[in-house]
């Protein structure tokens, strides 16, 4: 967690509930952004801000579940907690299947709500970290030349330099030079490490008899 | 013939065309609507025109001194008269009513310097209080004397009476009467237990008069102004009080007789006018006004209204000699004097006439017998049908009724004189004024009597009666007689009450069932404030636990808690209102508020059904009267129907539009439009019938109850398909309050 105060996006059409939850979450140490409707939220939602969202289910116009679907369609991954006045099983199942963190029934106890928010914030943070790593790996992979990349696929397939030279129709020394540059550019010191990084970046090993 | 001879000397003195006409200026103390002065002026004018040898031109002005009592008024009138009569000097000024005399004396120099003044109808008392300058004389009447004679008349007619009630107002003349009454009654040989109804406010005076015991003597003096400072026509007050009083009322103003007052002593107003005119004639004939002492009118006498005498069952034989009897039907002798005289002149003719009379008499007797027979049969049939027949004579207040009719009111058949008040005594106090008003309006304006009321007689169960009657009119178009029936409608009323009760039960059950359907939504409506309250409380706890608690913030949160609590109680209150079974109430209704409040009840339901609700309220909508719970039930039904109708509509298109407006035709309307399936043609006629439903679980009572409720509010309920899709229900209620009611 970079900032101690992570943000909770709150959407509820009931002004009283919206205000009360805002004050509660604020008092509990969260940065709260509250919206009286799904449309308001969509208009001002900043994906880059870390944190989670708390949606009321029953709202006029766009309801909570529709808002969840709208976010998913955009590819936005924001952990969502639903709160609802009437907890019917089909709705809660639908919400959970679509990836909700929790489905809480009003009136919501603070422990329940804060637990769920903590869990959701955690999930958001780890997702962001994963994303971060992914980003840095792919930046490094982008530095490789096409030939070096070709050599890499053969290395992680567990081939010897000799075999690689033969398969690429080049001499052993050239392969050695490529291999050294790949290790250096990706900042790894062993083949084992190289294999792990490549795997994370989604690079597949070359097949043995191409 | 005698009249002709008497009048002859005046005809022998022909009008002389070359002479300038006499000018007489009549100054009325009041305005032209005041009957007494108008009558006096007419009497004077008639006498003058009849007897003057010269042509007379009359001018008349109305000083209106009682209604305009502010200080500037007199001067204003005097200035006006000066301007107006500067070039048109009157030969004589007549002050009509003694009330005009002080003004005339004070301002005569302004508009008629040196002109003789003749007053008419000055009370001796008021005359004593002004110093009479030269050239002022006229006719007066002795109030004290008139009062004594009036009381003497009452004493003769009601020898048993022990109690005396005296009525007078607060104006100047009223006060003079008050003094006279006190002095004279004090001096009187016969002693009474006397109640002075002086200086009372008019309402209180009427109230007091209506409670006078029936064996008392009532002296209605004059009420120009009541204790609250309101001015009146004494004749109106006297006649109204005579109608209210359970005992006969005497008056010192005999011109007022004929509408219920019994009698009194005095002269008529036109006689006063004639007496004044005689003084004028003397002056015009050359006498010096200063040399003529004011004189009383020899025409004064006891006067009694024969019809009132009959009504009070007072004996004619007790009347003082030479009493003038008004409204007495002429006797056979008086009526047929000429015929009888002619008959005595011709014996043969007499025989024939007698024969004819005999035949006529027999015919009449037979007709009377037949009539009596048929009346008896009618009365019998009516009694069998539990109907009482009655007839009210407007002039005398006399009431005739069948025996059965009396029995209905718990009156014995022997009760001597039946009066409307006697009947009213048996009427339930809550209904009494309805019946009394109905009769009052019929006697005054000839309207139909049609009133339902209860009879409450001790130790008997309450019965419902209906009074129906219509008026017969005299030649002047005034109601003279009202005849009608009383019918016992207790059985019908009981059935109605039973049906009403059933209807209320069903309406209540329907409300309960609608609310049952809404229970989920209502629970949600309550859950919202509870959620907020819980969150606020927990937030407050956290804020308090901090090292330096922000008390301002905590206070704010606590305030928010109370606000949310109010909101929750509001929901419960609204529910409670709808679930209550109580009596129906009628209140001013602000339709916008009622619709708004109903929509709030349905808010969660609409959201959960994915229905968008749009409102289009006309601001400042006029109000109506009604039962808010029943009307809300109608709205609830219309809204629920509209929402149900859209169950097959795709979610984004589910739109409910609720509008209010005042229509051109004096109604306020609520319209509820949906975008549902509409109404099939074959269902339209069934829509408001009980047990007709298009819903799977519907009872089919909603709209039928609604239409009954709306009908009871004199409103209209209609449902029509929209041009594009769905249907619109319109509830129209009559406008009864022109501004928007504030609740």
Neighboring chain B residues of A83 at a CB cutoff of 8 Å: 531
Give the Å distances, CA to CA, from B560 to A20, A55, A107.
Answer: 8, 22, 16
CA distance B545 to chain A (A): 10
User: What does the alpha-carbon distance between residue B254 and residue B303 come to, in Å, rounded to a whole number?
Assistant: 6
Is B609 an interface residue toward A (CB < 8 Å)? no
pLDDT at residue B647, as a whole number: 87
Q: What is the dihedral of CA A190, A195, A201, A202, to 10 degrees?
A: 170
Alpha-helical segments (H) within B13-71: 35-51
The 10s digit of each residue's pLDDT in A110-154 is: 999 999 999 999 999 998 888 888 777 777 788 888 888 888 889
Query: Tell me, what DSSP letter sits at residue B225?
Result: B
Query: Tell me, what DSSP letter sits at residue B618?
Result: P
The 10s digit of each residue's pLDDT in B69-82 is: 777 888 888 888 88
Average pLDDT of the residues in B522-532: 89
Give the Å distances, CA to CA, from A135 to A130, A131, A138, A200, B276.
Answer: 8, 6, 5, 11, 127
Let me know the angle formed at the C-alpha of B396 by B391 and B399, rounded to the nearest 5 degrees.
30
How sure is the predictor about B379, in pLDDT bands with cuts at 50, 70 and 90?
confident
pLDDT at residue B743, as a whole number: 55
Are residues B452 and B474 in contact, defined by beta-carbon separation less than 8 angstroms?
Answer: no
CA-nearest residue to A107 within chain B is: B531
Query: Which phi-psi region, left, alpha or beta, contains residue B360 (left: φ > 0; alpha: ψ -120 to 50)?
Result: alpha
Are residues B232 and B206 in contact, defined by beta-carbon separation less than 8 angstroms?
Answer: no
pLDDT at residue A119, as a whole number: 94
Lowest mean pLDDT among A116-125, B155-164, B349-358, B526-535: B349-358
Which residues are CB-neighbours of B213 under 8 A, at least 6 positions away?
A: B163, B246, B247
Q: Record the tokens describing residue B204, joined without a space.
A: 């209180």
ipTM comes to 0.74
Lowest mean pLDDT among B54-68, B344-358, B400-414, B680-694: B344-358
Alpha-helical segments (H) within A142-171: 146-156, 161-168
User: What does the alpha-carbon distance between residue A200 and residue B678 come to, in Å, rounded to a whole number?
Assistant: 61
The 10s digit of each residue's pLDDT in B103-132 is: 888 888 888 888 999 988 887 766 766 777
pLDDT at residue B352, as a whole number: 67
Which one of A20, A27, A58 has the shortest CB-CB distance to B608?
Answer: A58
Q: Record the tokens describing residue A36, joined without a space.
A: 């009286």
Secondary structure class of B37 (helix, strand, coil)? helix
User: In the predicted model, is pLDDT for residue B11 greater than 50?
Assistant: no
Which residues are CB-neighbours of B25 under 8 A, at least 6 positions away?
A: B58, B59, B60, B61, B85, B90, B92, B93, B94, B112
Neighbours of B279 (CB within 10 A): 24
Neighboring chain B residues of A16 at a CB cutoff of 8 Å: 528-529, 532, 560, 563-564, 567
User: What does the alpha-carbon distance between residue B405 and residue B679 come to, in Å, rounded to a whole number?
Assistant: 56
Average pLDDT of the residues in A84-102: 87
CA distance A112 to chain B (A): 12
pLDDT at residue B334, as a whole number: 60
With 0-12 / 13-18 / 19 or more C-beta atoms within 10 angstroms meaning exposed / middle / buried, residue A161 is middle
Are residues A114 and A83 in contact, defined by beta-carbon separation less than 8 angstroms?
Answer: no
Tokens 């008086």 — which residue? B334
Percent of chain A predicted with pLDDT > 90? 40
The 10s digit of each residue's pLDDT in B444-454 is: 888 888 889 99
User: What does the alpha-carbon distance between residue B643 and residue B640 come to, in Å, rounded to a whole number?
Assistant: 5
Average pLDDT of the residues in A50-58: 93
Neighbours of A56 (CB within 10 A): 26
User: In the predicted model, is pLDDT for residue B374 greater than 80?
Assistant: no
pLDDT at residue B344, as a whole number: 54
Give the Å distances, CA to CA, from B329 to B249, B302, B323, B611.
Answer: 22, 18, 16, 83
pLDDT at residue A204, as a whole number: 80
Which one of A27, A61, A85 has the shortest CB-CB distance to B528?
Answer: A85
User: What does the alpha-carbon distance between residue B541 and residue B535 come to, in Å, rounded to a whole number?
Assistant: 10
Q: What is the dihedral of CA B535, A101, A35, A12, to 10 degrees?
A: -60
Is A59 an interface residue toward B (CB < 8 Å)? yes
Sheet containing B117-123: which strands, arranged edge to edge?
B56-62, B22-28, B92-96, B117-123, B136-141, B295-296
Average pLDDT of the residues in B550-576: 91
User: What does the alpha-carbon distance between residue B658 and residue B618 come to, in Å, rounded to a whole number?
Assistant: 11
pLDDT at residue A19, as a whole number: 95
pLDDT at residue A100, as a whole number: 92
pLDDT at residue B525, as a whole number: 85
Is B483 an interface residue toward A (CB < 8 Å)? no
Closest by CA to B598, choosing from B652, B557, B637, is B637
User: In the predicted model, is pLDDT for residue B7 greater than 50?
Assistant: no
Cβ contact (<8 Å) for A109 and B534? yes
Q: Mutating which of B522, B526, B531, B604 best tests the A interface, going by the most A Cβ atoms within 10 A?
A: B531
B560 φ/ψ angles, rounded to the nearest 5 degrees: -60, -35
Is B551 an interface residue toward A (CB < 8 Å)? no
Helix (H) / strand (E) element for B269: namely helix B269-284
Percent of chain B predicted with pLDDT > 70? 90
User: What does the alpha-carbon distance between residue B669 and residue B688 come to, in Å, rounded to a whole number?
Assistant: 19
User: In the predicted model, is pLDDT for residue B242 greater than 80?
Assistant: yes
pLDDT at residue A1, as a whole number: 41
Neighboring chain A residues of B559 at a CB cutoff of 8 Å: none
Sheet containing B387-393: which strands, arranged edge to edge?
B399-401, B387-393, B479-488, B463-473, B449-455
User: What does the alpha-carbon distance between residue B600 and residue B349 come to, in Å, rounded to a whole number?
Assistant: 98
Closest by CA to B298, choosing from B327, B278, B280, is B278
Tokens 């040399």 — which residue? B291
Are residues B633 and B514 in contact, defined by beta-carbon separation less than 8 angstroms?
Answer: yes
Which residues are CB-neighbours of A184 under 8 A, at least 6 positions away?
A: none
Closest by CA to B534, choosing from A12, A23, A26, is A23
User: In the predicted model, is pLDDT for residue B722 greater than 50?
Assistant: yes
Average pLDDT of the residues in B248-258: 87
Question: Dihedral of CA B408/B409/B414/B418: which sign?
Answer: negative
Cβ contact (<8 Å) for A60 and B531? no
Let me know the angle formed at the C-alpha of B473 by B472 and B474, rounded to the nearest 5 degrees.
135
Neighbours of B273 (CB within 10 A): 30
Q: Mutating which of A25, A84, A107 best tests the B interface, going by the most B Cβ atoms within 10 A?
A: A107
Cβ contact (<8 Å) for A16 and B567? yes
User: What does the alpha-carbon distance between residue B64 and residue B32 come to, in Å, rounded to a whole number?
Assistant: 9
Average pLDDT of the residues in B480-495: 88
The pLDDT mean for chain B works out to 84
The 10s digit of each residue's pLDDT in B154-207 is: 999 998 889 999 999 998 889 889 999 998 898 888 888 999 999 899 999 999
Is B522 an interface residue toward A (CB < 8 Å)? no
Average pLDDT of the residues in B459-475: 87
Helix (H) / strand (E) element for B437: namely helix B429-445
B578-616 core/surface letters (b: 16 or more CB in 10 A; e: else): beeeeeeeeeebbbbbbbebbbebbbbbbbbbbbbbeee
Average pLDDT of the residues in B269-297: 86
User: What does the alpha-carbon distance between residue B438 and residue B299 come to, in Å, rounded to a whole number?
Assistant: 41
Which one of B524, B529, B608 has the shortest CB-CB distance to A16?
Answer: B529
Query: Which phi-psi region, left, alpha or beta, contains residue B386 (left: φ > 0; alpha: ψ -120 to 50)?
Result: left
Are residues B439 and B420 in contact, defined by beta-carbon separation less than 8 angstroms?
Answer: yes
């Amino acid at each position: 967690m970079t900032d101690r105060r992570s943000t909770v996006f709150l959407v509820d059409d009931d002004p009283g509930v919206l205000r009360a939850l805002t004050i509660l979450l604020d008092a509990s140490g969260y940065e709260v952004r509250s919206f009286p409707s799904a449309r308001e939220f969509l208009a001002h939602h900043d994906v880059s801000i870390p944190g989670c969202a708390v949606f009321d289910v029953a709202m006029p116009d766009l309801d909570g579940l529709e808002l969840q679907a709208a976010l998913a369609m955009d590819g936005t991954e924001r952990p969502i907690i639903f709160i609802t006045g009437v907890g019917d099983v089909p709705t809660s199942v639908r919400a959970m299947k679509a990836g909700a963190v929790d489905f809480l029934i009003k009136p919501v106890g603070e422990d329940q709500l804060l637990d769920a928010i903590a869990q959701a914030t955690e999930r958001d943070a780890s997702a962001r970290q994963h994303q971060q790593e992914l980003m840095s790996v792919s930046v490094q992979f982008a530095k490789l030349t096409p030939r070096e990349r070709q050599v890499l696929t053969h290395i992680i397939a567990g081939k010897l330099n000799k075999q690689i030279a033969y398969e690429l129709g080049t001499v052993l020394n050239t392969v050695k030079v490529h291999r050294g540059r790949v290790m250096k550019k990706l900042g790894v010191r062993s083949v084992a490490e190289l294999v792990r990084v490549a795997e994370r970046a989604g690079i597949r090993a070359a097949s043995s008899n191409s | 013939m005698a009249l002709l001879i008497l009048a002859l000397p005046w005809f022998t003195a022909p009008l002389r065309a070359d002479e300038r006409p006499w000018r007489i200026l009549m100054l009325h103390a009041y305005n032209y609507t005041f009957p007494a002065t108008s009558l006096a002026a007419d009497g004077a004018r008639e006498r003058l025109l009849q007897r003057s040898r010269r042509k007379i031109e009359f001018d008349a002005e109305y000083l209106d001194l009682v209604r305009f009592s502010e200080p500037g008024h007199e001067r204003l009138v005097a200035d006006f008269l000066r301007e107006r009569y500067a070039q048109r000097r009157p030969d004589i000024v007549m002050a009509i009513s003694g009330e005009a005399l002080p003004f005339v004396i004070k301002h005569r120099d302004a508009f008629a310097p040196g002109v003789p003044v003749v007053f008419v109808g000055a009370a001796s008392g008021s005359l004593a209080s002004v110093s009479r300058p030269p050239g002022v004389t006229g006719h007066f009447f002795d109030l004290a004397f008139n009062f004594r004679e009036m009381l003497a008349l009452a004493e003769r007619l009601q020898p048993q009476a022990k109690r005396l009630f005296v009525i007078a107002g607060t104006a100047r003349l009223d006060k003079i009467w008050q003094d006279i009454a006190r002095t004279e009654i004090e001096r009187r040989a016969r002693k009474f237990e006397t109640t002075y109804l002086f200086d009372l406010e008019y309402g209180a005076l009427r109230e007091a008069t209506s409670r006078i015991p029936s064996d008392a003597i009532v002296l209605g003096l004059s009420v120009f102004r009541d204790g609250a400072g309101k001015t009146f026509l004494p004749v109106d007050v006297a006649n109204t009080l005579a109608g209210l009083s359970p005992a006969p009322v005497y008056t010192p103003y005999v011109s007022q007789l004929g509408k219920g007052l019994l009698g009194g002593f005095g002269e008529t107003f036109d006689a006063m006018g004639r007496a004044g005119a005689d003084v004028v004639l003397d002056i015009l004939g050359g006498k010096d006004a200063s040399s003529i002492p004011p004189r009383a009118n020899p025409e004064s006498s006891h006067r009694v209204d024969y019809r009132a005498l009959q009504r009070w069952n007072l004996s004619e034989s007790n009347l003082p000699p030479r009493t003038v009897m008004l409204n007495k039907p002429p006797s056979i002798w008086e009526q047929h004097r000429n015929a009888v005289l002619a008959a005595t002149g011709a014996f043969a003719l007499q025989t024939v006439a007698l024969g004819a009379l005999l035949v006529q008499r027999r015919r009449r007797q037979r007709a009377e017998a037949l009539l009596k027979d048929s009346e008896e049969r009618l009365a019998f049939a009516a009694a069998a049908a539990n109907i009482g027949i009655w007839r009210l004579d407007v002039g005398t207040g006399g009431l005739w009724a069948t025996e059965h009719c009396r029995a209905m009111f718990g009156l014995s058949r022997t009760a001597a004189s039946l009066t409307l008040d006697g009947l009213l005594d048996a009427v339930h106090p809550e209904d009494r004024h309805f019946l009394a008003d109905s009769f009052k309006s019929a006697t005054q304006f000839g309207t139909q009597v049609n009133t339902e009321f209860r009879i409450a007689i001790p130790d008997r169960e309450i019965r419902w009666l209906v009074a129906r009657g219509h008026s017969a009119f005299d030649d002047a178009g005034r109601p003279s007689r009202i005849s009608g029936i009383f019918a016992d409608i207790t059985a019908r009323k009981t059935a109605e009450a039973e049906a009403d009760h059933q209807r209320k039960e069903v309406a209540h059950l329907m409300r309960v069932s609608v609310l049952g359907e809404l229970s989920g939504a209502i629970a949600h409506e309550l859950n919202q404030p509870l959620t907020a309250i819980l969150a606020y409380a927990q937030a407050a706890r956290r804020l308090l636990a901090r090292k330096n608690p922000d008390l301002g913030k905590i206070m704010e949160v606590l305030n928010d808690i109370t606000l949310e609590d109010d909101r929750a109680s509001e929901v419960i209150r609204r529910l409670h209102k709808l679930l209550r079974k109580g009596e129906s109430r009628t209140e001013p209704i602000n339709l916008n508020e009622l619709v708004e409040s109903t929509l709030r009840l349905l808010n969660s339901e609409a959201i959960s059904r994915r229905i968008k609700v749009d409102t289009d309220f006309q601001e400042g909508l006029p109000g109506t009267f009604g039962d808010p719970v029943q009307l809300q039930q109608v709205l609830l039904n219309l809204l629920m129907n509209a929402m149900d109708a859209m169950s097959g509509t795709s979610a984004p298109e589910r739109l409910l539009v609720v509008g209010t407006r005042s229509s051109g035709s004096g109604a306020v309307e609520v319209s509820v439009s949906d975008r549902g399936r509409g109404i099939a043609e074959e269902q339209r006629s069934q829509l408001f019938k009980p047990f007709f439903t298009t819903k799977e679980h519907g009872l089919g009572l909603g709209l039928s109850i609604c239409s009954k409720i709306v009908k009871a509010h004199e409103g209209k309920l209609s449902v029509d398909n929209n041009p594009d899709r769905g249907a619109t229900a319109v509830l129209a209620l009559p406008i009864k309050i022109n501004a928007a009611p504030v609740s």
